[in-house]
Chain A
Amino acid sequence: MAVTVRLPVTLRQGGADTLTVTEPVGTIAELVDLLGRRLPGFRAQWDDSMLNFAVNDELILHRAGERRLTDDDVVEIVPAISGGAGRAPAYGVPESWSGSAT
């Protein structure tokens, strides 16, 4: 399994604009969990509701966590047009986003 993740400027490390994920991630929610552990700065921006995801050039605007991922998918992290709920989100993580990479 390999998913290519395109990173926005705000999350790039050492000039790399993509990240290849070889761990098994079945959904966007699982990918979020993994990126939170692997990618410095991701968690803070994620908690700020600043990030959207596009899978194979299709932006997902609802039920994003449930979106299934398959081998060779290209996931782009797109800074949200809106975003910015503050450092401590005023709301919890929606159930649809729960999940963890195994």
Chain B
Amino acid sequence: MSIDDRVARLLTELPQSAQFPTQGATLFVDLARQRVQQAYTPKRIVESLLAGRGTNMFYLYRLLDASLEPTNSEVPLIFESGVLTGIVPSAARGNATSWSPESGVLMDCNAGDYFPSFLKMNGIDHLVICGRATAWTWLWIGDGRVEFRDATPYLGLDNIDLRDRMAADVGGTWTRDLATASITRAGENLVMSSAIMAGPKACYARGAPGAKRGSLRVKAIVVQGQTHDFDTARPYKPYNKTIAKKLLDTSVVKHALRTMGTPFLYRPSRVLGAMGTKNNQETTWTDRLDAEHITPYRPGVAGCFRCPVNCRPLNHLNDDLADRYGRGDGQEYVTLGKFGPNVGIDQLEPVIRPNNICNDLGLDTASSGSTIAWAMELYQRGIITKKETGGLELVWGDAELVERLLFDLSRREGFGNVLADGTRAVEQGHYPAEALRYRMAVNGLMQSDPHDARILKAFALGLAVATRGMDHLRNLVTLEINARINDDPDFKAKLYGGPVTAEPNRYDTKERAVRVCENLYAVGDAVGMCRFTTKLFNSPSLPGLDEFSGQIANVTGMEINTAALDRIGLNIMGVERLINHRLGVRRSDDTLPERWFEEEVQVGAYKGEKIDCQEFDAMLSRFYAISGLSDEGVPADAWRQELETVLGAPAD
């Protein structure tokens, strides 16, 4: 069945009018025929999966043909805005979903800035894009309409130039009446760490979304229009004030996120001995990269649409206007870790510059940094030599080399062509099979965060079971790194709905915390809330299910209590696992890099820690059991039937 037939069949089931106040349309964009069809997500789907990431999974489940390849134009790329995106403070997020060209499993990445909110402002909840454009195209969206425009003049432009050119050509101002989701040369070149840029820094990053977009030949999607208030079921602004106050009163927001941004996380990680260093051969690094040393380089902070937190530090390295990368937006803790300890760089400026370069080249810093670190270790071990690198010496800490590699990989030039294949370098024949032993990836995706999870068993489980591959943003039990909470068993039990052991290096009961976080974060994505300001990720007191439930009722008129929301979070994970199962994911894939089972942490209070195979396997079994999953990691029979009934039959 072709994608046209799949869309046509689906459209017969979808309502033609909004099912609740503020619900936006789902637009099916056929690039080949330059045609747009419109419908709305049915109420039964909303009740089971809510919106945003959740309903993206409904569309992917129905439209995916797993017999194809991820870059096939018949595999859709789906953007969304959450049910509260653009409406609630700090809810400025949306996901982009498809089948990942890099990992081969679910691609589901999340971005903020202004694009998701502006989609919502235009009355759009989902953009389902499929078919390959006959020539490079960009989409203009305004007044709820989509226009197909020639992207030829913009080909070859990276993020800085593209944003300048498009704003001038379209006539508008970013963050005021223009928002974009664009790809750079890296996306055009199908680079596996290419992102879709949603702002100067914000991007849909994980799983090669840029490459997926490049395969469809869509250079940019630009949304234009004035911001406005929403017609809601009940007044929602008074409760917004309550939520904003909750955000701003939280100490981690006041004392860390608003002042230093996420780089404040570097210090505790390195002191704990859990900082991935030199491709996780080591686990601690210099104090020269502590956030306090970044302060002189930070002229200010920026933020996403209507977010009072403003957690994005800007950087200023020099006044040389000819230096394209002498200033920029960022960096985050992830980038600090990936371009500092992970590649052996111990000075701040050479760590900040790659952040600015990646922002321009449109690269996911997590995957790009990890891919380079992997190559460096292979070179260190003699598994690859100058013969494979084209004469380059891949030595740790060579900042000039790292910069060069980023440009080369974005253009697929020289050894950059190897790096551009990301985690698939062995499959593509660039590296011998032995290289997989040192690849810090799960389910084909490099680890997103800089943490070395050999000590923190809840982190380890989360990375193993995350439905998009090795990524902390799906379920990280961050509060495990908080002695005050660990030492208060009653409070901890209240947070996770039951006892969770205090010791971060124990295996028992950690599955409970991962389950609770995974449900909550999935709902957060369906809502459109930023992870940094969602309960349990950075703090126990940030907005969570209670606040989501209250504001969903005000905005949509739907009464969905916290228990039902928690179930929705579980359902979202369940559908994602059904999709992954169709893509070949099995229990044996929910694991961790070999190194963590075999090599011990060498420093700190937890020296000697590693992952015990049997303990890990038992923890995984308990996680499956409390999640309602079968031994193979998919929803068990009754729940599976329930989900399949709600979703309808998939295409294949």
Contact = CB atoms under 8 A, between A and B. Distances in A.
Chain B CB count within 10 A is highest, among A50, A53, A76, A96, for A50
A79 B541 contact: no
A64 B503 CA distance: 11
A46 B483 CA distance: 11
A61 B504 contact: yes
A82 B534 CA distance: 12
B167 interface: no
Contacts of A57: 271, 604
A74 to B, nearest CB: 12
Given A60-B605, A85-B539, A96 B255 contact: no
Contacts of A62: 483, 486-487, 502-504
Contact of B484 (A9, A58, A80, A90): A80
Given A57-B271, A61-B504, A84 B487 contact: no
Interface string B460-497: 00000000000000000011111111111111001000
B249 interface: yes
B34 interface: no
A94 B538 CA distance: 21
Chain B facing A: main interface SS: helix
Interface residues of A, number: 38
A65 B485 CA distance: 12
Interface in A58-94: 58-65, 76, 78-87, 90-92, 94
B540 A84 contact: yes
A50 B487 contact: no
A82 B478 contact: yes
B265 interface: yes
B410 to A, nearest CB: 32
A82 B604 contact: no
A90 B491 contact: yes
A64 B487 CA distance: 8
A27 interface: no
Interface residues of B, number: 44
Nearest to B295: A9
Contacts of A92: 488
B255 A50 contact: yes
A10 B486 CA distance: 23
A61 B490 contact: no
A59 B502 contact: no
Interface string A40-62: 00001110111111100111111
Contact of A59 (B249, B487, B537, B605): B605
Chain A facing B: main interface SS: loop
B256 interface: yes
Nearest to B540: A85
Nearest to B253: A84
A58 B605 contact: yes
Contacts of B253: 84
Given A62-B486, A63-B487, A84 B250 contact: yes
B479 A48 contact: no
A49 B487 contact: no
A68 to B, nearest CB: 14
A45 B259 CA distance: 15
B418 interface: no
Interface in B413-460: none
9 A-B pairs with the lowest CB-CB distances in the bound complex, closest first? A84-B539, A48-B251, A58-B605, A91-B491, A84-B252, A64-B483, A84-B250, A84-B251, A86-B541
21 contacts: A9-B292, A49-B485, A51-B484, A52-B483, A52-B484, A59-B271, A59-B604, A59-B605, A62-B483, A76-B271, A79-B267, A80-B483, A82-B478, A82-B538, A82-B539, A84-B540, A84-B541, A86-B251, A90-B540, A90-B541, A92-B488
